[in-house]
Structures are given as C-alpha cells and as structure tokens.
Structure 1
Amino acid sequence: MNVADPLHLRPARDRRGRGARGPLLPVGVPRYRSRSMSFDQAVLEAYAPLQNAYFDQLVGVDLAVDTVPRMRLRTDIAILPDDIVADGPVPLGRVLQAGVDPQGRPTRARIVIFRMPIEQRTSNAQERSELLTWILTALVANYLNIDPADIDPRFQ
C-alpha cells in the first residue's frame, strides 16, 4: 500500500478530544468572512460604479488594499500631493502611476486603499462605504486628470 495514494488516506484524528478540525461556520454565512475580507468586498462595491462608468480609461489600473500605509507624511506639509488622499498626516489611499520596477519590468498603474486608517475613522458599514466612495472618487479623478465633481456632483 502506497502512503501517498489518495484512496488510502486516513481521516484526521481527533486528538485530545477537542472536536473536529475544520471550519466552524458555513461559507455562506456572513460571519464566515473575516474583517479584512469584508473590507475588500466593500472596496470592490464602492469601486464598481466608477469602473463601470470609466471602463475604457481604467482598464489598465489595478486596485489594491494594503493594511497600513508604508509611507510617512510630515505634519508640517500644508499641501499634499494630488495622488495621495489623507486625513491630516495619515494617508487613506494613493495612486501609483505606471512605471518601471527595479528589475526593469514595466508596472501597471495602481490605486491603493489603506484598510486600518479607514477602519479607525468609521464606526459602521454605512460610514465606511461613504468614506470609501469619497476616497475612490478622489483617486480615480486624480488618475483620469479630471475634477472629482465631474465624477460625482455630490463630491465635496
């Protein structure tokens, strides 16, 4: 008998009587998703109307979610670069233009959303959705080089 043969695998043992090993909740239950997974879903839902409206212009843009920003903004800066959306010295999102990486390979443009600063500034899903819509509208407008009010007339 070959141990690597999939037909002869032994079932996982219940060592020390602690119960079955595996997922506790079914995949379809909302509680199954982790906080980061539900945040990623909220980002996709906020980005979908923008992507549908400007599909041809955004086809070469990647959307990314990072846990924390890996950049520091000085507190004495009065005017931030247009490619960064921030709350004071804390970046909430940024646009990375297409370019060339250190190995000489071309890179695609990328819109990066920072999860932890956004989650700390919102207390419920409605506020998070509104903040994500505002951030993504500002970043897409910057990438397309248009006024954010042209994308969303309610933009302030």
Structure 2
Amino acid sequence: MDSPVPPNPIEPRPRRRDRHGRGMRGPVAPPQVPLSASRSDSFRDLVRDSVERLERRWPQLAEIDFLVIDVPDVEGDSVPLGRSVPEGKDRPAHIVVYRRPVEIRTKNREERAMLVHEVVVEQVAELLGLAPESVDPRYGQD
C-alpha cells in the first residue's frame, strides 16, 4: 500500500510589521552619517588620513602597506602603539598601528587623531632611517 504524500510545506510570508503592528525597524542612521561607522572603521580612517597627509611630502610611502591590528603580542612590560617591518624578499614593507592601546591612551577623537599621527610618523621615520621631525616638521608641536 502506498503511503500518502505529505503536502508541500507552506512558505512563510515575509513580515511587513512587527508583533506590535508597527513597521519593521530600519537602521539607526544612514551610512553616510558617522554614527554608522564602527570604532575600528573610524580608527582606520584616522590612519588613512595621517598616511595621506604624509604621502604629499613622501611619495614613496605609497609602496608601504599600513595595517591596523586591534592588540599587539606583548613581550615584556611595555605595550607598543605601532611597529614597522622592513621590506623582505617576498613581502613589502609594512607599518602596523595597534588600535586598542591607542584608544586606551586617548579621551576623544581629536586626541586619538593626534596620537595616531605621531605613531605613524615615528614608524615611518624608523622605516626610512630618519628623525621624526624630518618626516613631519610639525611632529611634537600639536
């Protein structure tokens, strides 16, 4: 005897309202408003702005990779804010800025932008073998 074939499952209709009868919630802010940017996105923007500022004076920085990593691998008592790694035979030179240590040391976006720029300048200077003041004449004056 053949068993009966079960009916096709009914596909749920898309919800147009929530359980209280109001419409579905949308985003809190549109994408072009800074509210929608995460802290890590904002931090990357600060690093990018600092690099663009320096590239006008040092065009060779276009060949260096700039990375943002949340936390460093701590070895010893001090926590670094950044690190520069010279060019290798199969990898380009790169500079790393550590997000959380920089954020912890600053109170607001303005201080964070200044500290990020100082870290980028120091790491570029180390990579190029120059003094930070020669990389950015305004270094240490902000």
With the length of structure 1 as denominator, give the TM-score of the two structures.
0.71
Which residue matches 2:86? Answer: 97
1:59 equivalent to 2:62? Answer yes
C-alpha separation between the residues in 2 aligned to 1:147 and 1:23?
47
Higher strand share: 1
Long gaps (5+) in structure 1: 1-9, 76-88, 101-105
RCO higher in 1 or 2 (8 Å CA, sep ≥ 6)?
1
C-alpha separation between the residues in 2 aligned to 1:154 and 1:49?
12
C-alpha separation between the residues in 1 aligned to 2:41 and 2:13?
30
Counterpart residue type for residue 51 of structure 2: Y
1:133 equivalent to 2:117? Answer yes
C-alpha separation between the residues in 1 aligned to 2:48 and 2:85?
18
* 1:33 to partner: Cα distance: 0.8
Matches within 5 A, 1:60-99: 60-69=63-72, 71-75=73-77, 89-99=78-88
Matches within 5 A, 1:7-156: 12-13=14-15, 17=19, 20=24, 23-55=27-59, 57-69=60-72, 71-75=73-77, 89-100=78-89, 106-156=90-140
| Identity across matched positions, percent | 37
Counterpart residue type for residue 126 of structure 2: N
C-alpha separation between the residues in 2 aligned to 1:90 and 1:146?
23
* 1:12 to partner: Cα distance: 4.3
CA gap of 1:154–1:11, structure 2 versus 1, over 3 A, is farther
With the length of structure 2 as denominator, give the TM-score of the two structures.
0.78
CA gap of 1:11–1:37, structure 2 versus 1, over 3 A, is farther
Long gaps (5+) in structure 2: 1-11
Deviating 4+ runs (over 6 angstroms):
none
* 1:22 to partner: Cα distance: 5.3
